[in-house]
Structure 1
Amino acid sequence: MIYLHLDFNLMETKPNVSFENLQAAFAHKTDKELKKMYHIFGLMHYPLLVKLGIGIARLGFKLGLPIRNTIKKTVFSQFCGGENIDACEPVVVLLAKYGVDAILDYSVEGKKDEDSFENTKEELLRTIAASKGRKNLPFTVFKISGIADTDILAKKQAGKTLSESESKRFDLARARVMGLCETAFNADVRIMVDGEESWFQDVVDGMVFEAMQRFNQKTAIVFNTFQMYRHDMLRRLKDAHHDAVAKGYFLGVKLVRGAYLEKERERAEKLGYKSPVHELKRDTDRDYDKALQFCVNNKQRVHLISGTHNELSNLVLSELVDLHGMKRSDERVYFAQLYGMSDHISFNLAKAGYNVVKYLPYGPVEEVLPYLSRRAEENSGISGQSSRELQLIKQEIRRRKHLPKLPKIA
């Protein structure tokens, strides 16, 4: 039995999807792949070992040590689809076989120069081209910080006067954002803009909402990210909906809990202002589930992508879809998780008929190391994701060992 702690009357209901079906969760993994997963998450169980490993990897690449293949065959293959778009194709096809869609996620962090920003933009255009007409590649995604100087964005948000050079670079960044959204619109491919730090998120929002007003007239093509660990985000979500209704466009919403918790708190303490993020996780969880309810309640205007590994929030959204009499395949609601994590959530939701997408990061091994480091760190520790993943993987390995062997055919 689960409880939906939402604004409507508290209700008790039997879950309409179970995350305990490990056969469905790991059907796409061979015994060998499952054992490799077990060893990777087993190592991530120890935070000190994770930090040491990340440090060694960074130093190894810096010194030119022969560690590339080891990383590629282990942690890279667990959390990334490949080194380029073509290399991701077998993973995309495999996921689609089990009803799970994919999002090509170029996960190389750009340098702060215009050439790097242009190179990233060109790669993002390639992800749009690769997704065009592909039902199992329904979204593309990008971070504005990958195509714009965040110092300039922060200066703009702070109300400071930009120099002539900075103004020119800001205009170039805005043109890249609008160009990507327009290309996605012309290709009929939905495009998500990831969330950023609070000190330049307002500027990002301004660009994204402008793009929504231009390209979301008939359906949601452009999606903005709402990080619910901010204590003002539920209000901002409602304000965004009000603006969409007033101006007659569809609101594309991607909900996440938030990506910069420690950074936000440290900056707030250093500069002496109130932290914009909730002090308690339960407050973030509460706002996240209220945001799910708000989006589904306003499904005539809001299209939703719920990006979370939280089991309860995924159950809440599945219940909301059914309670509202929506088809589980309704294109207005998607569940999203990262590739290599929470397969028990993704594949069971897909098996139950809901729309599910996996973020599929890609890029050269050396250049996605920052992304891999974040995945390793967030999965480390007894209370981290690795503990749950380990438990489930171990259970599936044991289940497979006890399966009766098929009789040999003469």
Structure 2
Amino acid sequence: FCGGTTIENSQATIEKLWESHIGTILDFSAEGKENEEDFNLAMNETIASIQKAKSESSIPFSVFKPTGLARFALLEKISSKLKLTKEEEIEKNTFEGRIENICRIASENKVPLFIDAEESWIQNEIDDIAIAMMQKFNKNEAWIFNTLQLYRNDRVDHLEMLLKLATEKKFFVGLKLVRGAYHEQEIERAKEKGYNCPVHTIKENTDIDYNKALTLCIENIDFVSVCAGTHNEESSALLVELLNKHNISKDDKRVYFSQLLGMSDHISYNAAKEGFNVVKYVPYGPVKDVLPYLIRRAEENTSIAGQMGRELTNIIEEKKRRRNA
């Protein structure tokens, strides 16, 4: 589930995946830090991953988590539109400067860059920055990608707004579509604070919105690039269907499938074998930083009804097949 502690010792994983025509997204798993030194380290790691991606076709994207670059409490305050102190204003400017620096380097080096999504109560600030970065750097092609979590009940509306804005302001949209990683926390916090729950409480509604978003992206492929981050077989099949319907080539660089390293391999490897663009998220970093990330991802995936059971069934069936072969 993890590439290694550094970019260098993730190389074996990168090469192994590439043998099966699966690309790598190197994901430095640092989040929830509290000091400037750690924030600058995360920025420099992201820049190093961009430089690495620039020189290797096996690494088609880079990524960063905004919570690796600023204090959570600061992002919460900005997203809530509360008045900031002078010190916080400086922090905010430094945070936004870090992101702009990363985005500029990615676009100059022609490496598409994902901005990961966070909890809904800090996401407003991240969306604002992501849209500003798209307007600035996606004038001719999508280099900067925002991440939409489709378990949120407002994301299809957000996507429609973004498509309209891009048409008006003439920029390209980059999007990674995921279902979402903070479902329980979102429900609990909404209950605790007494506001309307921002996420779907019925999984089928998340699936409906995910597939709507995927359809919208492909219908607007002229100015949208999309990475479908999904472990869901139905959504993966829908993407194949949409590409066929709109006569989009399997290897069109504007469309990617993505899964986490070690998860839903049957989707990743089969899609790659059929000639589709596939990438695996490969977390790396100090063990103490990677573990919380992996635990959250594992929890997120056990909450995906049926998927893990299906993987187990696939493994058992394959073992039977090999035994009888």
| Cα drift, residue 271 of structure 1 | 1.1
Partner of 2:74: 152
| 3-state SS, counterpart of residue 109 of structure 1 | coil
- Which residue is 2:85 aligned to? 163
- Please report how far the alpha carbon of residue 110 of structure 1 lies from its aligned counterpart in structure 2 after TM superposition: 4.4
Q: TM-score, normalised by structure 1?
A: 0.77
Tell me: higher relative CO, structure 1 or 2? Use CA pairs within 8 A at least 6 residues apart. 1
Structure 1 position 325 matched with structure 2 position 244? no
Indicate the larger mover: 255-264 or 337-346. 255-264
Q: Does 1:311 align with 2:241?
A: no
Deviates more, 1:86-95 or 1:139-148: 86-95
Deviation at 1:380? 4.9
SS in 1 for 2:55: coil
1:398 Cα deviation from its structure 2 partner: 3.1
Partner of 1:115: 37
Structure 1 segment 268-347 matched on structure 2, within 5 A: 268-347=190-269
Does the CA-based 8 Å contact 1:110-1:120 persist in structure 2? Answer: no
Give the AA of the match of 1:304. V
Measure, in 2, the Cα distance between the counterparts of 1:244 and 1:185.
Answer: 18
Residue pairs, 1:6-405, within 5 angstroms: 79-380=1-302, 385-403=307-325
Distance 1:148 1:318, change over 3 A: same
Task: Give the partner amino acid of 1:154.
Answer: E
CA contact (8 A) 2:226 2:254 kept: yes
Which deviates more from structure 2 when the two are superposed, residues 194-203 or residues 386-395? 386-395
How far did residue 95 of structure 1 move? 1.1
Q: Give the counterpart letter for 1:348 in structure 2.
A: N
Question: Alpha-carbon deviation of 1:400?
Answer: 3.0
* Aligned equivalents of 1:348, 1:186: Cα separation in 2: 33
Structure ID, larger Rg: 1
- CA deviation after TM superposition for structure 1 residue 336, in Å: 0.5
| Counterpart contact for 1:103–1:360, Cα < 8 Å | yes
User: Which amino acid is 2:162 matched to?
Assistant: A
Q: How far off its partner does 1:87 sit?
A: 1.2
Distance 1:376 1:290 in 2: 26
User: Hey, what's the Cα distance between the residues in 1 that align with 2:232 and 2:289?
Assistant: 29
Q: Answer yes or no: is the 8 Å Cα contact 2:107–2:137 preserved in 1.
A: yes
Task: Give the AA of the match of 1:313.
Answer: S
TM-score using structure 2 length: 0.96
1:346-390 CA-to-partner distances (Å, cap 9, x unmatched) read: 111111111111101111223211122224434558956442222
Name the counterpart of 1:5.
Answer: none
What's the secondary structure of 1:288's corresponding residue?
helix
With 327-336 and 103-112 compared, the bigger mean Cα shift is at: 103-112
CA distance in 1, matches of 2:256, 2:215: 14
Find the aligned partners of 2:322 and 2:274 in 1 and give their Cα distance: 22
CA contact (8 A) 2:181 2:297 kept: no
Letter of the aligned partner of 1:244 in structure 2?
Answer: A
Conserved 8 A contact 2:190-2:196: yes
The DSSP-based 3-state class of the residue aligned with 2:293 is helix
Q: Secondary structure at the match of 1:178?
A: helix
Once residues 277 and 168 of structure 2 are traced to their aligned partners in structure 1, the CA distance between those partners, rounded to angstroms, is: 29
1:169 & 1:213 partners in 2: Cα distance?
23
Secondary structure in 2 matching 1:132: helix
User: What's the CA shift string for 1:58-99, capped at 9, x where partnerless?
Assistant: xxxxxxxxxxxxxxxxxxxxx011111111111111111111
**Identity percentage over the alignment?**
44
The alignment yields a C-alpha RMSD, in angstroms, of: 1.6
CA distance in 1, matches of 2:295, 2:194: 30
* Structure 2 unmatched ranges of 5 or more: none
**Cα distance, 1:402 vs. partner?**
3.4
Shift of 1:339: 0.5
Contact 1:110 1:116 in 2 (8 A): no
User: Aligned partner of 1:252: which letter?
Assistant: G
Residues 284 and 383 (structure 1), Cα distance of their counterparts in 2 relative to 1, 3 Å cut? closer
**Equivalent-residue separation in structure 2 for 1:229 and 1:375 (angstroms):** 15
Residue 283 of structure 1 aligns with an amino acid whose one-letter code is N
